[in-house]
Amino acid sequence: MSGAVVLRDAVPDDEALVAQFVRALAEYEKLLDEACGTEADFRRALFGTPPRAWALVAELEEEPVGFAVWCYSFSTFAGRPGLFVEDVFVVPEQRGCGIGRQIFRHLARRALDEGCARMEWRVLNWNTPAINFYRSIGARPLDAWTDQRLEGAALQSFAA
């Protein structure tokens, strides 16, 4: 990595880039068949009124090399919001250069600046490189909690 990495908030017209990075991440995670978000979906989520998610783009020499998408949760126990990192991705040829660390540090500062009690995210159990990175920055797994999901036909059926 020769130049400085610039982290910037995503702006309208970045939705194609976000969609591209999401597909690249999904391919890496072997979940490409689940990546069905469209540019219109990302435009609505990131730049609609109100926004439902936020994103940043990492650039090296003005070329996009990574991104992050996050939203906010709320902890009733803490009585404060939390920053939930939905996705972080750095292009393979730039991994190991500190870009992921810069993204996470940026988000940690944002969480503190916005009064968040914590920052959380998920990692696939097989993703040892990511798990090792998360341990290196002081993150710890929440083994006592199991994610639950209601989606698709089950969500529609239950809502009815």
Considering the candidates 28, 35, 134, 139, report the single residue annotated as catalytic.
134
Whether 90 and 100 have beta carbons less than 8 Å apart is answered as: yes
pLDDT tens, residue order, the chain (160 aa): 567 999 999 999 999 999 999 999 999 999 999 999 999 999 999 999 999 999 999 999 999 999 999 999 999 999 999 999 999 999 999 999 999 999 999 999 999 999 999 999 999 999 999 999 999 999 999 989 888 999 999 999 999 9
**Active site (annotated) includes residue 72:** no
Residues 6+ apart with CB under 8 A from 3: 60, 61
End-to-end CA distance of the chain: 53
Domains and CATH numbers, the chain: 5-159 (3.40.630.30)
Q: Report pTM.
A: 0.93
Of 87, 77, 30, 26, the C-alpha closest to 57 is 87
